[in-house]
Amino acid sequence: MAEQAFDLIILGGGPGGYVAAIRAAQLGMKTAVVEREHLGGICLNWGCIPTKALLRTSEINHLLHNIGDFGFDAVEPRFDIGKVVKRSRAVAKQLSSGVAHLLRKNKVAVFDGAGKLAGKQTVSVSKDGKDTATLKAPHIILATGARARQLPGIESDGKLIWSYKDAMVPPMMPKSLLVIGSGAIGIEFASFYLNMGAKVTVVEVLPRILAVEDEEVSSFAHKAFEKQGMKIITGAAVKTVKKGADNVTVTVEAGGKSQQISVDRVISAVGIVGNVEHLGLDGTGVKVDRGHVVIDEYCRTGEPGVYAIGDLAGPPWLAHKASHEGVLCVEKIAGLNNVHPMDVLNIPGCTYCRPQVASVGLTEARAKERGHEVKVGKFPFIGNGKAIAMGEPEGMIKTVFDGKTGELLGAHMVGAEVTEMIQGYAIARTLETTETELINTVFPHPTVSETMHEAVLDAYKRSIHF
C-alpha cells in the first residue's frame, strides 16, 4: 500500500470529527477522516438526533391524549411502535447522508475503517482485520467518542436489559420499565416511555435527579415527573437483577430498606467511557485519565502533533462541545491568532424531557462556593401569557448574578421549549453581559422568552408580572 499524505488526519467522523474536517478544508488543509461505522457518530445515528425524533413522537402522543383541553373531540389515539422507530431511524439516516455530502463538498477524503497511530505522524487504517491504508500527516486529531458504561452484573443483553441503542429500537412497547440513572440520557428515555404509556421507575444513586442542574430546577422537574406518574427513587442502589422469561426483577436498596420491583425491561443509563482502546497510544506521550484522553486548553495531548476532542477528551459530554473543540483545535493548528480556549461554563446543557431542562454557567450553590455574593431572580411560566395560551404553564426560569459586578453567573430553566431559549443566556455570557444590558433588552410579546427577561428583573426586585 502506498502511503497517502495529508495535512490533517481525523480519527472519527462524529460531531467533533466531521466539523473539524470541514473547518480544516475551509482553511485550505488537505484533510482525511477515518470512520469505522457511520458518519455523524453516535450523535446523529444513535444519540442526539434520533432520540429527539422519538421524543417528538411522545410529545404528540401526550397532546393527543389531552386534546380535549384544546376543544377537540377525537377517538382514542393509537400508535405503531414499529412505525415510530422507523421514522426515528429515517431521520438519523438522512442526517448521516447529509454529513457524507458535506465532506464530499469540502473535498475531505473519507476512509472506511478503524484508524490508529502507527508511528510518528502516521495512521494505519484497517477493515475486517485487514490493513487497508497508511496515512501520513503532521497533525492527527483523535475524535473517537465514547460508549455506554456497563455496570457489573447489569450488562445490557439486548433483550431484557437495554442499552441506549436497544431502547431506541424496541421490538415491542414495554408496559413497564426501570431506568438506572437520572442524567440526561436516563431521564429522556424515562420521559419518552412514560409519555408513550409505560409505567416507569427511575433509580438514582445520588440524592437527586439531574444532579448537574441547579437544585431548584432538579426539584421542580422531580415533582413534575411524579405528577405525570413516574416513580423516582433517589439515594438508591440496584443490588441484584434477576431475569425471567420475559421480565426482570430488580432489588433496589434505599435508606437501609430493600424492595423488589418487577418490570418488562431495564434501561441502563449510568454514564459513558471514552473509546481509548486500539488507538495505538502505547509508547506515545498521550495520557489517559479515568478513561479519557488528557488535553490542554487547545486540545493538544502530550504527544506532539496529536490532539483529542469531544467525548474522548472528557466532560461535558455534549455534541456541541465536541464541534466547538474541533473548530478551535483546527484553527489553532492553522495558526489563526484569534483562537480562544473554550470556557465550559459558557456551554449550555439541555435535557429534552417533558418538561424540558436547560442551563448554562454556575448554579446558585456553585456560585456561592466560589465566593460570589449572588443576586437570584426567578419567574414562573404561570405568569407568562404565551405559556398559558400554549397550555404549558408548568415551568420556571432562574438567574444567578454577581451582586457586586452584575455579571450573569448562570441561568437555569425548566419548562416547554427552554432548550431553544437557553441560547439567549449563553450569548449573554459569551458577550460578558451584565444585568444592565439584559434589563434594557426588549423582548417580544407575547413569547415564552419574556420569562427570561422577568427572571433578570426579579434578581433586582423589578419583576413586573409576578
Mind telling me the catalytic residues?
Answer: 445
Residues 370, 381: contact at Cβ < 8 Å?
Answer: no
Helix, strand counts (H, E) of the chain: 13, 26
Q: How far apart are the C-alpha atoms of 355 and 55, rounded to whole Å?
A: 11
CA–CA separation, 358 vs 423, rounded Å? 9
Cell numbers for 12: 472519527
Contacts of 25 (CB under 8 A, 6+ apart): 31, 106, 107, 108
Helix (H/G/I), strand (E/B), else coil: 273: strand
Helix 48-65 with 184-195: angle, nearest 10 deg: 30
Q: Which three cell numbers stand for residue 240?
A: 441484584
Which residues, 6+ apart, have CB-to-CB distance to 431 below 8 Å? 437
- Euclidean distance between CA atoms 395 and 165, whole angstroms: 30
Which residues, in sequence order, are CB contacts of 119 under 8 Å at separation 6+?
none
Q: How many whole angstroms separate alpha carbon 318 and alpha carbon 15?
A: 9
**What would the DSSP string read from start to end of 337-383?**
TT-----GGGS-EEE-SSSEEEEEE--HHHHHHTT--EEEEEEEGGG
Do residues 136 and 8 make contact, with C-beta atoms less than 8 angstroms apart? Answer: no
Cite the beta strand spans of 155-235 per DSSP E.
161-162, 176-180, 199-203, 231-233
CA 362, distance to chain mean position in Å, is 18
Distance, in Å, from the CA atom of 278 to the CA atom of 15, rounded to the nearest integer, reads 21
Closest residue by Cα to residue 17 from 250, 302, 312, 276: 312
SS3 label, residue 252:
strand
Question: Cell numbers of 322, please?
Answer: 465536541
8 Å CB contact between 213 and 412: yes
**Inter-residue contact 307 to 139 (CB < 8 Å):** yes
